[in-house]
Amino acid sequence: MNRISIIIVLIITISQISAEELRPNYNDGNGTIIFERKENNISELLRKCVVDVKIGDLAKEEERIIYDHYSSKNKIGVLEDDAPAYEKRASS
């Protein structure tokens, strides 16, 4: 019984060590880990996410503002009108 417990503990330990080394490599694309921190049993992980947004020309000016957080007033960008791209597709 004691021998089986030792073997199980060794298998679990080896699997934990190997799982840490086998992290996926996203080649600096979406999902790449930008920041990681573990402190007081709390893990923080920040991943890269790049998204192309096409909104046409229907959004009002105040609806085009991008904030850094949904409850913040810190403006980080403004969506541009991409209506000409839609007009080209519609005429083809």
Structure tokens at 28: 């600096």
Using only C-alpha atoms, the chain has a radius of gyration, in whole angstroms, of 24
Q: What is the mean pLDDT of residues 61-71?
A: 87
Q: Which amino acid is at 2?
A: N
pLDDT tens digits, 14-60:
888 776 666 666 777 788 888 999 999 999 999 888 887 777 777 88
Higher per-residue confidence, 90 vs 50: 50
Predicted pLDDT at 39: 92
How far does CA 87 lie from the centroid of its chain? 32
Question: Which amino acid is it at 84?
Answer: P
User: Please, which pLDDT band fits residue 63 given cuts at 50, 70 and 90?
Assistant: confident
Task: Assess whether pLDDT exceeds 70 at residue 10.
Answer: yes
Cα 29 from Cα 5, distance rounded (Å): 42
Looking at residue 92, its pLDDT comes to: 47
Do residues 72 and 45 touch, judged by C-beta distance below 8 A? no
Domain ranges of the chain: 24-91
Q: E strands of the chain, at which residues?
A: 33-39, 42-47, 65-67, 75-78
The helix or strand, by DSSP H or E, that contains position 71, with its residue range, turns out to be: none
Residue with more model confidence, 66 or 82: 66
